[in-house]
Homo-oligomer: A and B are copies of this chain.
Amino acid sequence: MSSSEQISRTIFYISDGTGITAETLGLSLLTQFNDIRFKTVRLPFVDTLEKVHDCRDRLQKAFEQDGFRPIVFSTLVNPEFNQIFGETNSLCLNFFDIFIAPLETELGIKRSEKVGRTHGLTNNADYERRINAINYTLSHDDGITDHGLEEADVILVGVSRCGKTPTSIYLAMQFGVRAANFPLIPEDFENRRFPEALTRHKEKLFGLTIQPERLTQIRTERRPNSKYASPENCHYEIREAEKMMRQQGIHWLDSSSKSIEEISATIIQEIKLLDNQEE
Protein backbone atom coordinates (compact mmCIF):
# COMPACT_ATOMS: atom_id res chain seq x y z
CA MET A 1 0.00 0.00 0.00
CA SER A 2 1.35 3.32 -1.04
CA SER A 3 1.10 6.58 0.81
CA SER A 4 -0.99 8.01 -1.98
CA GLU A 5 -3.94 6.09 -0.54
CA GLN A 6 -4.52 8.88 1.90
CA ILE A 7 -4.80 11.50 -0.78
CA SER A 8 -8.17 12.82 -1.82
CA ARG A 9 -8.52 14.83 -5.01
CA THR A 10 -11.47 16.82 -6.22
CA ILE A 11 -12.85 16.12 -9.67
CA PHE A 12 -15.02 18.66 -11.46
CA TYR A 13 -17.24 17.80 -14.39
CA ILE A 14 -17.99 21.03 -16.21
CA SER A 15 -20.22 21.33 -19.24
CA ASP A 16 -22.53 23.71 -21.06
CA GLY A 17 -24.93 20.76 -21.32
CA THR A 18 -25.74 17.91 -18.94
CA GLY A 19 -22.12 17.05 -18.14
CA ILE A 20 -22.83 13.40 -18.86
CA THR A 21 -20.20 13.12 -21.58
CA ALA A 22 -17.59 14.78 -19.37
CA GLU A 23 -18.43 12.43 -16.53
CA THR A 24 -18.33 9.35 -18.75
CA LEU A 25 -14.85 10.30 -19.90
CA GLY A 26 -13.66 11.17 -16.41
CA LEU A 27 -14.97 8.03 -14.74
CA SER A 28 -13.45 5.95 -17.45
CA LEU A 29 -10.02 7.50 -16.97
CA LEU A 30 -10.18 7.48 -13.18
CA THR A 31 -10.81 3.71 -13.05
CA GLN A 32 -7.15 3.55 -14.09
CA PHE A 33 -6.07 5.07 -10.79
CA ASN A 34 -7.14 2.84 -7.94
CA ASP A 35 -5.25 4.22 -5.00
CA ILE A 36 -6.69 7.70 -4.87
CA ARG A 37 -9.94 8.83 -3.35
CA PHE A 38 -11.88 11.19 -5.57
CA LYS A 39 -14.51 13.71 -4.59
CA THR A 40 -16.96 14.53 -7.35
CA VAL A 41 -18.49 17.90 -8.18
CA ARG A 42 -20.87 18.15 -11.13
CA LEU A 43 -21.35 21.57 -12.71
CA PRO A 44 -23.75 21.20 -15.65
CA PHE A 45 -25.36 23.91 -17.78
CA VAL A 46 -22.44 26.34 -17.47
CA ASP A 47 -23.51 28.57 -20.33
CA THR A 48 -23.07 32.15 -19.06
CA LEU A 49 -20.07 34.17 -18.01
CA GLU A 50 -21.59 34.50 -14.55
CA LYS A 51 -21.71 30.73 -14.13
CA VAL A 52 -18.15 30.46 -15.43
CA HIS A 53 -16.97 32.88 -12.77
CA ASP A 54 -18.85 30.93 -10.12
CA CYS A 55 -17.16 27.72 -11.28
CA ARG A 56 -13.78 29.41 -11.24
CA ASP A 57 -14.34 30.40 -7.61
CA ARG A 58 -15.30 26.84 -6.72
CA LEU A 59 -12.13 25.53 -8.35
CA GLN A 60 -10.04 27.98 -6.36
CA LYS A 61 -11.79 26.98 -3.13
CA ALA A 62 -11.16 23.29 -3.82
CA PHE A 63 -7.50 24.04 -4.47
CA GLU A 64 -7.19 25.85 -1.15
CA GLN A 65 -9.06 23.15 0.78
CA ASP A 66 -7.33 20.14 -0.76
CA GLY A 67 -3.84 21.56 -1.09
CA PHE A 68 -3.87 20.05 -4.58
CA ARG A 69 -5.10 21.35 -7.89
CA PRO A 70 -8.56 20.03 -8.70
CA ILE A 71 -8.91 18.03 -11.90
CA VAL A 72 -11.44 19.30 -14.42
CA PHE A 73 -13.06 17.23 -17.14
CA SER A 74 -14.77 19.66 -19.44
CA THR A 75 -16.76 19.61 -22.64
CA LEU A 76 -17.13 23.38 -22.90
CA VAL A 77 -16.74 24.66 -26.45
CA ASN A 78 -16.76 28.43 -25.88
CA PRO A 79 -13.12 29.61 -26.28
CA GLU A 80 -13.64 32.57 -23.94
CA PHE A 81 -14.86 30.28 -21.18
CA ASN A 82 -12.08 27.79 -21.79
CA GLN A 83 -9.49 30.51 -21.48
CA ILE A 84 -10.83 31.44 -18.05
CA PHE A 85 -10.58 27.85 -16.88
CA GLY A 86 -7.11 27.56 -18.39
CA GLU A 87 -5.97 30.30 -16.01
CA THR A 88 -7.22 28.56 -12.85
CA ASN A 89 -5.20 26.45 -10.47
CA SER A 90 -6.42 23.19 -11.97
CA LEU A 91 -5.59 20.44 -14.41
CA CYS A 92 -8.17 21.20 -17.05
CA LEU A 93 -8.76 18.38 -19.53
CA ASN A 94 -11.05 19.55 -22.27
CA PHE A 95 -12.13 16.81 -24.44
CA PHE A 96 -13.56 18.94 -27.26
CA ASP A 97 -10.50 21.16 -27.46
CA ILE A 98 -8.30 18.19 -28.21
CA PHE A 99 -10.38 16.14 -30.59
CA ILE A 100 -12.29 18.68 -32.66
CA ALA A 101 -9.24 19.91 -34.58
CA PRO A 102 -8.14 16.52 -35.98
CA LEU A 103 -11.76 15.76 -36.87
CA GLU A 104 -12.12 19.06 -38.70
CA THR A 105 -8.99 18.33 -40.67
CA GLU A 106 -10.06 14.80 -41.48
CA LEU A 107 -13.61 15.72 -42.48
CA GLY A 108 -12.53 18.84 -44.31
CA ILE A 109 -15.19 21.00 -42.67
CA LYS A 110 -15.44 23.18 -39.57
CA ARG A 111 -17.62 22.06 -36.72
CA SER A 112 -21.05 23.70 -36.50
CA GLU A 113 -21.06 27.15 -34.95
CA LYS A 114 -23.91 26.29 -32.61
CA VAL A 115 -23.06 24.62 -29.35
CA GLY A 116 -23.81 20.97 -29.80
CA ARG A 117 -25.92 19.61 -27.02
CA THR A 118 -24.91 15.98 -27.04
CA HIS A 119 -27.59 14.92 -24.61
CA GLY A 120 -30.20 17.39 -25.75
CA LEU A 121 -32.81 16.94 -28.42
CA THR A 122 -30.40 17.52 -31.30
CA ASN A 123 -31.34 14.30 -33.01
CA ASN A 124 -35.05 13.94 -32.54
CA ALA A 125 -35.51 10.71 -34.50
CA ASP A 126 -32.81 9.00 -32.49
CA TYR A 127 -34.15 10.34 -29.22
CA GLU A 128 -37.71 9.26 -29.97
CA ARG A 129 -36.47 5.81 -30.88
CA ARG A 130 -34.87 5.54 -27.45
CA ILE A 131 -37.93 6.79 -25.57
CA ASN A 132 -40.19 4.46 -27.54
CA ALA A 133 -37.81 1.60 -26.81
CA ILE A 134 -37.97 2.36 -23.08
CA ASN A 135 -41.77 2.40 -23.15
CA TYR A 136 -41.84 -0.80 -25.19
CA THR A 137 -39.41 -2.53 -22.85
CA LEU A 138 -41.33 -1.53 -19.72
CA SER A 139 -44.58 -2.83 -21.15
CA HIS A 140 -42.93 -6.10 -22.18
CA ASP A 141 -41.05 -6.77 -18.96
CA ASP A 142 -41.12 -10.15 -17.28
CA GLY A 143 -43.59 -11.71 -19.72
CA ILE A 144 -46.35 -9.22 -18.77
CA THR A 145 -47.83 -9.80 -22.19
CA ASP A 146 -47.03 -11.76 -25.30
CA HIS A 147 -48.81 -9.21 -27.46
CA GLY A 148 -46.54 -7.19 -29.66
CA LEU A 149 -43.53 -9.50 -29.39
CA GLU A 150 -43.24 -9.22 -33.17
CA GLU A 151 -42.11 -5.62 -32.60
CA ALA A 152 -39.29 -6.64 -30.28
CA ASP A 153 -35.69 -6.35 -31.45
CA VAL A 154 -34.63 -8.93 -28.90
CA ILE A 155 -36.40 -11.11 -26.33
CA LEU A 156 -34.35 -12.10 -23.29
CA VAL A 157 -35.20 -15.37 -21.58
CA GLY A 158 -33.99 -16.97 -18.38
CA VAL A 159 -34.96 -17.87 -14.81
CA SER A 160 -36.31 -15.26 -12.42
CA ARG A 161 -33.66 -12.79 -11.15
CA CYS A 162 -30.90 -13.68 -13.60
CA GLY A 163 -30.59 -10.07 -14.83
CA LYS A 164 -33.16 -9.86 -17.63
CA THR A 165 -34.92 -6.68 -16.53
CA PRO A 166 -31.97 -4.34 -15.92
CA THR A 167 -30.32 -5.59 -19.11
CA SER A 168 -33.49 -4.98 -21.13
CA ILE A 169 -33.79 -1.46 -19.79
CA TYR A 170 -30.14 -0.72 -20.48
CA LEU A 171 -30.49 -1.98 -24.07
CA ALA A 172 -33.47 0.35 -24.55
CA MET A 173 -31.98 3.37 -22.81
CA GLN A 174 -28.48 3.26 -24.28
CA PHE A 175 -29.06 1.74 -27.68
CA GLY A 176 -32.74 2.31 -28.46
CA VAL A 177 -33.29 -1.45 -28.69
CA ARG A 178 -36.83 -2.73 -28.01
CA ALA A 179 -35.98 -5.49 -25.56
CA ALA A 180 -38.77 -7.68 -24.24
CA ASN A 181 -38.03 -10.25 -21.56
CA PHE A 182 -39.74 -13.45 -20.63
CA PRO A 183 -39.12 -15.67 -17.62
CA LEU A 184 -38.57 -19.41 -17.74
CA ILE A 185 -40.52 -20.71 -14.74
CA PRO A 186 -40.83 -24.01 -12.83
CA GLU A 187 -44.10 -24.75 -14.62
CA ASP A 188 -42.29 -24.69 -17.95
CA PHE A 189 -39.73 -27.16 -16.62
CA GLU A 190 -42.34 -29.51 -15.14
CA ASN A 191 -44.30 -29.56 -18.40
CA ARG A 192 -41.09 -29.76 -20.38
CA ARG A 193 -42.55 -27.10 -22.64
CA PHE A 194 -40.82 -24.01 -23.83
CA PRO A 195 -43.20 -21.00 -23.61
CA GLU A 196 -45.31 -21.20 -26.74
CA ALA A 197 -45.51 -17.44 -27.21
CA LEU A 198 -41.76 -17.43 -27.85
CA THR A 199 -41.49 -20.21 -30.40
CA ARG A 200 -42.51 -17.91 -33.25
CA HIS A 201 -39.69 -15.52 -32.41
CA LYS A 202 -36.72 -17.85 -32.21
CA GLU A 203 -34.37 -15.59 -34.12
CA LYS A 204 -34.84 -12.83 -31.55
CA LEU A 205 -34.31 -14.92 -28.44
CA PHE A 206 -31.25 -14.53 -26.27
CA GLY A 207 -30.78 -16.41 -23.00
CA LEU A 208 -29.26 -15.34 -19.73
CA THR A 209 -28.05 -17.81 -17.17
CA ILE A 210 -26.31 -17.39 -13.84
CA GLN A 211 -24.28 -19.39 -11.34
CA PRO A 212 -26.60 -21.15 -8.86
CA GLU A 213 -24.71 -19.74 -5.86
CA ARG A 214 -25.13 -16.19 -7.12
CA LEU A 215 -28.81 -16.76 -7.86
CA THR A 216 -29.37 -18.15 -4.35
CA GLN A 217 -27.74 -15.03 -2.94
CA ILE A 218 -29.84 -12.64 -5.04
CA ARG A 219 -33.11 -14.48 -4.39
CA THR A 220 -32.38 -14.74 -0.66
CA GLU A 221 -32.16 -10.96 -0.43
CA ARG A 222 -35.61 -10.81 -1.93
CA ARG A 223 -37.29 -13.75 -0.21
CA PRO A 224 -35.18 -15.20 2.61
CA ASN A 225 -35.75 -18.83 3.62
CA SER A 226 -38.08 -19.52 0.72
CA LYS A 227 -38.10 -22.57 -1.53
CA TYR A 228 -37.69 -20.03 -4.36
CA ALA A 229 -34.30 -18.95 -3.00
CA SER A 230 -33.06 -22.34 -1.79
CA PRO A 231 -29.81 -23.66 -3.29
CA GLU A 232 -31.57 -26.86 -4.44
CA ASN A 233 -34.26 -24.98 -6.27
CA CYS A 234 -31.82 -22.53 -7.85
CA HIS A 235 -29.66 -25.41 -9.07
CA TYR A 236 -32.74 -27.17 -10.44
CA GLU A 237 -34.14 -24.14 -12.25
CA ILE A 238 -30.84 -23.23 -13.83
CA ARG A 239 -30.10 -26.78 -14.96
CA GLU A 240 -33.55 -27.08 -16.53
CA ALA A 241 -33.43 -23.63 -18.12
CA GLU A 242 -30.05 -24.33 -19.69
CA LYS A 243 -31.27 -27.68 -20.94
CA MET A 244 -34.30 -25.99 -22.49
CA MET A 245 -32.23 -23.24 -24.12
CA ARG A 246 -29.84 -25.85 -25.50
CA GLN A 247 -32.73 -27.85 -26.97
CA GLN A 248 -34.17 -24.72 -28.52
CA GLY A 249 -30.81 -23.69 -29.96
CA ILE A 250 -30.83 -20.37 -28.11
CA HIS A 251 -27.57 -18.49 -27.62
CA TRP A 252 -26.98 -17.57 -24.04
CA LEU A 253 -24.40 -16.12 -21.68
CA ASP A 254 -23.66 -16.34 -17.98
CA SER A 255 -24.46 -13.02 -16.31
CA SER A 256 -22.79 -13.84 -12.97
CA SER A 257 -19.62 -11.86 -13.37
CA LYS A 258 -20.78 -9.40 -15.99
CA SER A 259 -22.22 -5.91 -15.70
CA ILE A 260 -25.41 -4.99 -17.53
CA GLU A 261 -23.26 -2.93 -19.88
CA GLU A 262 -21.11 -5.96 -20.71
CA ILE A 263 -24.14 -8.20 -21.13
CA SER A 264 -25.80 -5.62 -23.38
CA ALA A 265 -22.72 -5.08 -25.54
CA THR A 266 -22.36 -8.85 -25.94
CA ILE A 267 -25.99 -9.32 -26.93
CA ILE A 268 -25.79 -6.57 -29.51
CA GLN A 269 -22.69 -8.13 -30.98
CA GLU A 270 -23.94 -11.72 -30.92
CA ILE A 271 -27.31 -11.28 -32.46
CA LYS A 272 -26.05 -8.57 -34.79
CA LEU A 273 -28.49 -6.01 -33.48
CA LEU A 274 -27.91 -2.52 -34.84
CA ASP A 275 -25.95 -3.89 -37.77
CA ASN A 276 -28.37 -2.05 -40.02
CA GLN A 277 -26.60 1.10 -38.83
CA GLU A 278 -23.70 0.07 -41.03
CA GLU A 279 -25.83 0.89 -44.07
From known contacts A21-B25, A42-B269, infer whether A262 and B102 are also in contact, taking CB-CB under 8 Å: no
User: Pick the contact of A28 from B36, B75, B91 — CB < 8 Å?
Assistant: B75
User: Pick the contact of A117 from B31, B138, B264 — CB < 8 Å?
Assistant: B31
Q: Assess whether A259 is interfacial by the CB under 8 Å rule.
A: yes
Task: Tell me if A259 and B127 are in contact (CB < 8 A).
Answer: yes
From known contacts A20-B174, A40-B278, infer whether A261 and B119 are also in contact, taking CB-CB under 8 Å: yes
The complex places the Cα of A103 from the Cα of B173 at a distance, in Å, of 31
Copies of this chain held together in the complex:
2
Task: Tell me if B9 and A107 are in contact (CB < 8 A).
Answer: yes
Task: Tell me if A259 and B109 are in contact (CB < 8 A).
Answer: no
Chain B residues with CB below 8 A from A187, complex form: none
The complex places the Cα of A139 from the Cα of B211 at a distance, in Å, of 25
CB distance from A100 to the nearest CB of B (A): 6
Q: By CB atoms of chain B within 10 A, which of A28, A33, A109, A135 has the most?
A: A28
Interface with B: A145-153, A162-170, A198-206, A235-243, which one? A162-170
Residue of B nearest to A25 (CB): B25
The complex places the Cα of A264 from the Cα of B18 at a distance, in Å, of 8
The complex places the Cα of A10 from the Cα of B277 at a distance, in Å, of 10
From known contacts A20-B265, A111-B32, infer whether A106 and B69 are also in contact, taking CB-CB under 8 Å: yes
Task: Tell me if A20 and B93 are in contact (CB < 8 A).
Answer: no
Chain B residues with CB below 8 A from A260, complex form: 131
Give 18 A-B pairs besides A32-B112, A95-B95 with Cβ atoms closer than 8 angstroms: A18-B264, A20-B24, A21-B25, A21-B28, A27-B118, A28-B75, A29-B95, A29-B96, A42-B269, A44-B269, A45-B269, A69-B106, A71-B106, A91-B102, A93-B103, A127-B259, A135-B165, A138-B165
